[in-house]
Every structure is written in C-alpha cells, then in structure tokens.
Structure 1
Amino acid sequence: MLQAMPSSSTHERPSVAYQGSPKEAWAALAPLIAGQPTYRIGRWIGDRFQYPRPQNPPRISVALPERPAAVVVHGVDGSVATVCLDLDTSKAARAVVDQDAVRLGRLLAECGLRWVEDFSPSGGRHLYVPLVERMDGAVVRELVEAMTLLAPSLDPGPHQNVSDGCIRVPGSVHKSGGHQVLLTPLAAAYDVLRRRNPAAAVDRLLTALTPELHRTRELKARNAKMANRAMQMPATASDPLSGSESTLRRVARTGLYDTARYKGPSEARMAVLNHFAACGWTLEQVQRELAGQFPGLAALYGSQARQERLLHREWARACAWIQKPATPQRGAKHAFINNTSLPEPTGGGGISSSKAAVHQLVNDVENVLYAVLDHRLKDRGREGLGLRLLLRAILGYMRTMETDVLDVGCRTLATALGKHHVTIARLLPVLVTASDGILVKVAEGRRRTADVYLVQLPAAYRELARELSWRRGKIHGIRPVFRGLGDPAALVYEAIERGRHAPTGAEIIRSTGLSRSAVETALADMAALDMIARQDRSWRVNPAVGLLDLARRLGVMEEVSAQISRHRRERAAWHAWLDRHLVPDLAEYEVHDVEVDEYWLPPSPDDPGLAHRIWYAA
C-alpha cells in the first residue's frame, strides 16, 4: 500500500527516490492534473514560445508527446481541479525561485495541504495542489494572485486566462531540451493526486492569505478607478508611484536588474545597499530581510559563503558613501544634506519645556482628549474624525520628539496620518479653534519655515486632568496598517488596546462615538486579520500579530514610502523655486537626485529608534 507523503521536499534530487521516467510521469500524472482531457503543442511565435489553441486538440494518452506540450488548467466550465503554481526564472533569479518554493511549501503544509512538485531544466519550479471539489476559476485566480505577493517568482498567468491557461506537467518536453523532472517520488505524487485535498484545507489557506487577498482587491479597485479616470481625462498624467514599484525595490525582491544600467550583480547590490544605508537601516535589519521580503538581494551574492564574506565589507562602503555630503556654505540654513538624509528642524521654536514636563503634559492632554474633546468632536462627522486623529498625531509627535512646540509642515503630519497635505492644512486652523486653547498658533510660516504651534494645558482643564488617571500604552495618529483598514478601525483598535479593561462591542461604540455599523465592520475586518480576538463578549488585542509586518503584507508600507518620496520631491521643488527667486545659485547639497525615487522605512518594530526615524523621514 502506498504511503502518502505529508509534504514534498523542494531539495530532493531524482537519485534520492524513484521519480520515474518522463514517459511514466506523463502517463500517470498528466490526466490527473489537467482540467480537460486534452493538451496543446508549443511552438515559437515570433520571439515568444507559446501554446496556441488548436482547432482539434489532441487528447491526453499514455504516449508522451515528442514536442513540448502543456495541459489546460481550467475545465470547460471555467472551474479548476488542480491549483498550478508556476515559479518562473523569468520573474526572479533562480535562488529566489528555490526560496519561494520552500516558502510556499511551508505555507501549504501549515494549512494541511499536500502537493506535487517538479522542476524544469531552466531552473523553474511547478507546484500542483489537487482539490477534491472543483473551485471557481475567479476564486483560484484571486488566490494565486495573492500568493504572488509572498513569492515574487510566482507567475499567475496559467490561472489568469480561463480559455488558454495551461502548464507543462511532469515528464513533458522542455522548449530548451530535457524534460520536466519530478521532485516528489512518482508513487507519492500519484497518491497525492488520487487522494486530493479537502475543501477544509483550502479554507484554511484562504484564511492564512487574508492580508494578501485584501491587498489584491484594493489594488484591483484602485487600478480600475485610475483606468476610468484615464478614460475620462486622457490628457492627465497619473502619478508614476501610485501603482508601480521602484526599480531598486524590484531588484532587491527579484534579483533581476537592468544590465544597461548596472554592469553586473556587484553594482546592482551596491545600489540597493546604498539606498538601505541612506534610509537609516542597520546591518542587522538588512541581514534579517535577506531571508524575508528581499531574497533577490541575497541571490545577487550567488552563494551563502560569498554573502557572508562580502556583506559586512559592502555595507561599510555603503555607510561611508552616504556620509559624504557636500560642504554647505558657512552660515547658510538648510533643511537637507541630501534628499534621503534626516531633515533638520525648520526653526521657529524658541525655549522648550523639559522632557519630563513634556511627557506629563502629553498625559494630561490625553486625559482631556478622552474625557472631553472626543465626545465634543464626534458630532462633527467626518471632519470631527479627522480632527480627533490629527490631535492624536500631534500628541504622538510630542511624545516621540519630547517637545511641546510643533514646527513641522503639513506634509509631515500628512505622512503620520496617511492624508493629503491639503487636508491637514484645512484641519489645523479648525483644530486650533476646537481645542479650547490646547493648540495655539504662535508664529506664521515663511519661506522654508512652517507655521509654529504650541501645545499647552489651559487652566480650565488642569484640575480635570489631574483627577483622571493616565492610560497605559502610547498614543498614535494613524499607524501604517490602518491606512488600509480605515480611520474608524484605528479608533476601534485604540479603544481595545488602551482600554482599562477588555471592552464589549457596546462599550466600544460608546467610547469611540462611532456608529454601530462602522464599529462592527472594523471589528470584523480586524478579526479576519487576527489582529483582535473575541473572548466571551469582550474584545482583546492579539499580541502575536505585529502591526508593521501586517502593514507590509497589506502593501501599506509601499504607500508610505511613495508618499514620503513624493513629499521630498515637492519640498525640493519648492526649495529650488525659492533659491531661484531669492538666491542667485542653487547650492549643491540641495539638488534633488532623480535616481533616488523611494524611501524605505526600517522594518523592525522592536527598534527603539524607529519612531524617531519615521518622523524624521516624514
């Protein structure tokens, strides 16, 4: 009796177990993988190798086709019997393909799924996940597209075309010579395809991919909106960063680079390391992400031994390179050394309170915010929601920077809240009036300096602030993950996280001042992402889920980086305009480098200096 393997190793070679001859693999497995009992013959059409649809497609038999052949993935009704994951070396370097195969295999095994794996002479991998119940083609397409966010080498093409999606199966001839070779032993592969995966295991996979599924839906909705806007206004150019990926990020993720721009992998990886160093990363963070979200950078080293030998040396060179700023003119005020350096304060703040006094002031203003201002501002609708979050962002800035003087521009606060800077410019004067003297404007912004605000505690609120006990935890504006989940979710999460006890749904509605439907929607979305959990009738935060890691899986960190880069370009353009009209020559250290098109936030949530760098980057 055949014993089913719980999972397939991606590192087994044909000599370890009997994988069968190409003819045996084709005869045994092709009918079980195919969505229809037919196959297609491949041929070169121009400069591409394709599998055109024949008028009378040949039926699958025990005879191995002499030419490259691929089976159709979808059935005649568009349903899918086997999910086919195509890891292609045209999408990423071969080392990245191998790592993606391990990563996807680990994910499938954790969800209780079994699969069959093969490899091609070009270095690609195929993973076949058979299903007991056929799935709708649209659902499988969404599932595979979500998995591409975890594996950069995964090509979703076979499941994106219902009529022509096809894939080479084990044993078939490869276009460059050779055959698709099984990694899973033939007997085990046959057993997996005969005793297919139940629907419950597929449901667990969908649950594990909830952040990626949410991200793909958001991207599709955004692209559709931009397409409609482009049709209505064809002459308007869209923002190139709104839906694209920077060149250096793609190199770090896939290991593929432009040979016309970089002579070899050494130059490509030095460009990535220089950018990491300029964005404030540490060597430990880089080493951790080599096996995380940027496996392509590790692939550029070729081998682990080469990486261990060169990484420290090249990182030192990158750090030395970014520490060579142009010498500014003596006595000149400037905001940037280069366009990725930490900005200096724009000025305007005079004498500041002590650090201990600032922390006590923040605690007192928090008490007033929760006891009075929140309930007063909630009646203003959407504007009130923006004002509440803006005041939280200001208090978070005070706590992080240990100052009671707010002398940063609207773009800095816009980055902290995930809003447009025009929205912040509109809300700030309203908040000055609505805060009853807590936020006071003390100086007008001029040229490069921003408006200066002072945060204080009016005498009318001092007794109230002293009587109330301080709340645990830190106050935030909009943490990156809530850019994707929405402002109501940020307030609901804060009510659970900073509550004096685990609140019920009714208590969350009363404390946040949000509608029942908004609170229930936010709770359902966060529970689906495993951010919170319900125990009896109360809600609690799941401490095992890292919000920064979840934000990265949702794709929000790319939006943060794009916003920071856009703000840097806008500031550089404004400074250049000022210099053209006020100063004869533009200083060298203020020239914007068009080669640097993105700012990457350090990934570690445990880094104590991360909050400072986020504010500096903004």
Structure 2
Amino acid sequence: MDAAEARELVEALAFTATSLDPSPHQNITDGCIRVPGSVHKSGGHQTLITPLSRAYDILRRRNPAAVVVELRAALAPELTRKRALKARAAKIVATQRTGVLPLPLTPGSEAPLRRVARTGLYDTARYKSPSEARMAVLNHFSACGWSLQNVENELAGQFPGLAALYGSPERQARLLPHEWSKAQAFTSTQAPLKQLPRKHGEKNALINNTSHTLTTGGEGTLSTAGVHQLVNDLENVLYAVLDHRLQAKGRQGLSLRLLIRGLLGYMRAKETDILDVGCRTLAAAMGKHHVTIARLLPVLVSASDGILTKIADARHKAADVYLIQLPDPYKQLARELTWRKGKIHAIRPVFRALSDATALVYEAIERGRHSPATADLVRATGISRNTCSAALAEMEALGMIQRQGRTWTTTTANLHLLAARLGVLDDYLEHISRNRQERAAWHAYLDRFRETLINEPDLYDAEIEGYWLPPDDHLGLWHVAA
C-alpha cells in the first residue's frame, strides 16, 4: 500500500474513532505511534485492551489485499466525506488566490443547539445549568437519528463544546451513557399522532384504486383521497411523458425533473392541489440556491403542458401560488397505467453529497416495477451510460444498492444515517436555519411599511374647542341678519 492510500484510509478512520491519532500515517517519511502507557491528550493513559499475544500476531503478519478492500468498503461514506472536504478546501484556496472570497456564514445560519455543542455557550435564560443544556443537545442529536458512537466521535471533532459542558473526561465518561439513554427514551415517546378510526359506513376512495375521485366541500374541491389519487395519476404522466420531454433540456432538465417531483411531494404532504411553497423551501428540499429555483419555476410552467399553472403572484409575505392539475389529454393515459409503489422525493439529504443524476438512478431502482439492469436504467432515466455506471458504482460502494446477477436492487441501508456519515446533515440543517433568518429579516422589512390604523381620537380631541373666533379688530365686518 502506498502512502497516499494509507493516509486516505487513516483519515477516514479518524471520523469514526475519537482516540485515533492519524498523524503517524499522514507523513510519508516520519511518524510516531503512542505505545501502551503513554499519556493521552484527553486524559489518562493509553491501555492495551487486546491480549498481548494477539497484538504481537497482528503486528507480525500483514493483512491480505482482500481485508483492505473490505475496509475501504466499510469506510466508503467517510472516504467520500473526506474527498468532499478536500475539494471544498481547495476551492476556498483557489478563490482566495483570485481575490474572490466566498461570503461568510451569517451568525444565525447555524442551528442554536449545534452552536451550543460547538462552543459550549448556552442561553442562561433558557437553560439554568449545563446539565439542562447538555440534555437539550443530546435530545436534538437523538431526534436526528444519531447514535452514541456518533456523539462520542464528534466530541473531539466538531462539537468540543458539548464535552466542555461535562467539565472533565471522568464526568463525561460517567454521565454520557446515562444521559444518552434518557434522551433516547424522551425522543422515542414523541411519536406521531395516530390516524383517527373511520366511522362506520363512511365511504372512502382508498378501498378500491379504480373508484372515482370523491369531492367534498363544493364543486372543484378535492378530498384527501382525491388529492392522493391525483398525485398518483400525475406520477404516471410524469414517468410516461414529462420526464422524456424534460430530458431534451440537458443539465437543466435534471433539475426540472427533480423540481416537479418536489412539488408533487409537497402536494401529497399538504393534501391540496394549490401550492404556495416559497423558493427557499423548495431550495432546501432540493439542495440548491433559491435563485436557481426562482429561475427554474417559469421554465417548468411552460414545459409542463398545463400540469403546473401559476395562478397568483407573490405579495408581501405570501409566495407565488401554483395550481397542479391533470390536463384532459392525459387523463386517459393516467387511468390506463398502474400506480407505482413507494413515495416520490425531490432530493433526500444523502444525495446532496452525490448528484442529481444519482438521485434519479436510485429512484428508478427503488420505484421500478421490476429489478432493472443497467441498460434499463439508461433507457428509463435518459442519463448517459457513463454517468449511470458511475452513479451505480458509487452507490454500490456506499452500500445503497447491490447487484443480483445483471439487475440492481436497493438494500436496507438507512439513508438518514448514511447522510450523517457523509457529513451533509449539518449542511441541510444550516440551509434551513439560513432560510429562517432570511425570511425573518424580510418579514421585519415588510412590517416597516405596514399601514397603521388611525383611530378617531387621533383625529379629534373632545377636550379641545374645534371652532374659530374672529379677531376683535374685524368685528365691524360682520353683519347680523334681521
């Protein structure tokens, strides 16, 4: 193994083990490994927990090539994360050399609890003691799907403030497992509300997929079941017609295809065919800039052939309003096709570290009517074979998909945890926090021009005489009628 490969592996291992010192393997010529008994930087002494005979056997025999391949496969998310960080650092250095510096993050763009975990500073008006601040941070990490190992790994990494809230390493080692158990118990009890049982004799269109759409509340108003049926029909039209039409737009077509998927996802979540979702909300769902979304929406309206229609412009705090409907030419086609399994997504957080093309390829495997081969994916997605093959290889290395003969299937990998290992959940939460801050600033700006109501006492005061008396020297000019 050459030095570059060894350095890449040990840097990936450093994301998973807090006590690992990667420096001996980062230097080509020199390096020093701490031996058992050495003082550790986090406190205490380094202890050999492996039997001495086994440790000597490990050092005496080198690993075969197959073990290194398995190690690279297990560390695939960390390797991808490290390459992304290096590319970002290289981009910052390049911009500094050209004199074009990137804009710094705004102070409110970071999530408050993440800031507490990073700095160790908390609001004393909200948390009376470091214990309460620690529990708030741990509850946040537990709700985000973290594990105890993830928290311990980041205490010496990006969140040293959380370790500082414990005071000492001994106190941290004693309290952290107990407090993490309490955080998991608390977040597990916050279960979503259960659906109310159906009333006896109540009609529901979900009993039969071929039933007609039920309407309630007047003509043109869709019921909840009607909205879900409409989204299913629109998905059939999307896969059969609209995707192939947007493929002709090249790279922009990839973003347009994911944007219409995001709109359909919000339509199903809000259970309405009239959407007033802002560009910043769509940008957070797609991992793009809100200016890009504002540029793509008019293009999608013109290319959707009546599926997406803008019915109202943005005004004050309200966003643009769009109507999503099924045009008459596509109704027969939508009814003849079978609905697909699963949910439709825009960009899940894990694909922020990958690409738009990879998201479409994964969707084609996940929602396919049968396990597709590579040629089937190229035809279904409209992506070039080289790009499709690269996306398949990357997802296979990350354990998201697996090959069964000539076909591809998805695995049981948790995409949320994989996104955390790739380091993109922090970017996603930072994007949401930045949107909230910008939206609050815009609302504060609008409130400056809000019309204030004028009350009657402000115009007339009953204590002040409102009539005018002429001066004394002009009394002769007045005449009294007889």
How many Å apart are 1:261 and its aligned residue?
Answer: 8.5
Are 1:484 and 2:353 matched, yes or no? Answer: yes
**Structure-2 residue corresponding to 1:545:** 413
The one of 15, 24, 32 equivalent to 1:158 is: 24
How many Å apart are 1:443 and its aligned residue?
Answer: 0.9
**Structure-1 residue corresponding to 2:374:** 505
How many Å apart are 1:160 and its aligned residue?
Answer: 3.0
How many Å apart are 1:137 and its aligned residue?
Answer: 2.2
| Contact 2:114 2:137 survives alignment (8 Å) | no
**Structure-1 residue corresponding to 2:132:** 270
| Contact 2:261 2:344 survives alignment (8 Å) | yes
Are 1:142 and 2:8 matched, yes or no? Answer: yes
Classify 1:440/1:245 alpha carbon distance in 2 versus 1 (closer, same or farther; 3 Å): closer
How many Å apart are 1:179 and its aligned residue?
Answer: 7.1
Distance 1:561 1:193 in 2: 43
**Structure-1 residue corresponding to 2:228:** 359
| Contact 1:496 1:540 survives alignment (8 Å) | yes
1:289-368 maps to which residues of 2 (within 5 A)? 289=146, 291-295=148-152, 296=155, 300=166, 302=172, 303=174, 307=178, 311=182, 353-368=222-237
| Contact 1:248 1:272 survives alignment (8 Å) | no
How many Å apart are 1:167 and its aligned residue?
Answer: 3.0
1:94-243 maps to which residues of 2 (within 5 A)? 135-170=1-36, 181-233=47-99, 237-239=103-105
Distance 2:417 2:184 in 1: 29
| Contact 1:273 1:315 survives alignment (8 Å) | no
Distance 2:43 2:345 in 1: 58
Name the TM-score, length of structure 2 as normaliser.
Answer: 0.75
Q: Which piece of structure 1 moves more, 227-236 or 500-509?
A: 227-236
How many Å apart are 1:272 and its aligned residue?
Answer: 4.9
| Contact 1:352 1:404 survives alignment (8 Å) | no
**Structure-2 residue corresponding to 1:405:** 274
Structure 1 unaligned blocks of 5 or more: 1-134, 320-349, 585-618
Classify 1:261/1:183 alpha carbon distance in 2 versus 1 (closer, same or farther; 3 Å): farther
How many Å apart are 1:475 and its aligned residue?
Answer: 0.9
**Structure-2 residue corresponding to 1:396:** 265
How many Å apart are 1:138 and its aligned residue?
Answer: 2.0
**Structure-2 residue corresponding to 1:346:** none
How many Å apart are 1:432 and its aligned residue?
Answer: 0.9
Query: Which amino acid in 2 is paired with 1:546?
Result: N
Distance 1:310 1:462 in 2: 53
The one of 389, 396, 417 equivalent to 1:527 is: 396
The structure where helix makes up a greater share of residues is 2
| Contact 1:396 1:476 survives alignment (8 Å) | yes
User: Is the partner of 2:448 in helix, strand or coil?
Assistant: helix
User: Is the partner of 1:167 in helix, strand or coil?
Assistant: coil
Classify 1:469/1:230 alpha carbon distance in 2 versus 1 (closer, same or farther; 3 Å): same
Classify 1:174/1:272 alpha carbon distance in 2 versus 1 (closer, same or farther; 3 Å): closer
Distance 2:242 2:287 in 1: 22
Structure 2 unaligned blocks of 5 or more: 156-161, 191-218, 453-482
Deviations for 1:570-607, whole angstroms, at most 9, x for unmatched residues?
Answer: 112211221233378xxxxxxxxxxxxxxxxxxxxxxx
Classify 1:207/1:426 alpha carbon distance in 2 versus 1 (closer, same or farther; 3 Å): same
The structure where strand makes up a greater share of residues is 1
% identical aligned pairs = 56
Classify 1:148/1:314 alpha carbon distance in 2 versus 1 (closer, same or farther; 3 Å): same
Classify 1:213/1:569 alpha carbon distance in 2 versus 1 (closer, same or farther; 3 Å): same
How many Å apart are 1:410 and its aligned residue?
Answer: 0.4
Distance 2:316 2:435 in 1: 16
| Contact 1:480 1:551 survives alignment (8 Å) | yes
| Contact 2:310 2:320 survives alignment (8 Å) | yes
**Structure-2 residue corresponding to 1:386:** 255
Distance 2:40 2:396 in 1: 46
Distance 2:222 2:16 in 1: 47
Are 1:369 and 2:238 matched, yes or no? Answer: yes
| Contact 1:270 1:314 survives alignment (8 Å) | no
| Contact 2:25 2:31 survives alignment (8 Å) | yes
Classify 1:480/1:236 alpha carbon distance in 2 versus 1 (closer, same or farther; 3 Å): closer
How many Å apart are 1:351 and its aligned residue?
Answer: 8.4
Classify 1:536/1:249 alpha carbon distance in 2 versus 1 (closer, same or farther; 3 Å): same
Classify 1:439/1:180 alpha carbon distance in 2 versus 1 (closer, same or farther; 3 Å): closer
Classify 1:396/1:165 alpha carbon distance in 2 versus 1 (closer, same or farther; 3 Å): same
How many Å apart are 1:310 and its aligned residue?
Answer: 9.9
Distance 2:451 2:130 in 1: 37
**Structure-2 residue corresponding to 1:36:** none
Distance 2:339 2:384 in 1: 26
Distance 1:185 1:498 in 2: 49
How many Å apart are 1:374 and its aligned residue?
Answer: 0.9
How many Å apart are 1:151 and its aligned residue?
Answer: 2.8
Distance 1:246 1:140 in 2: 35
The one of 328, 337, 345 equivalent to 1:459 is: 328
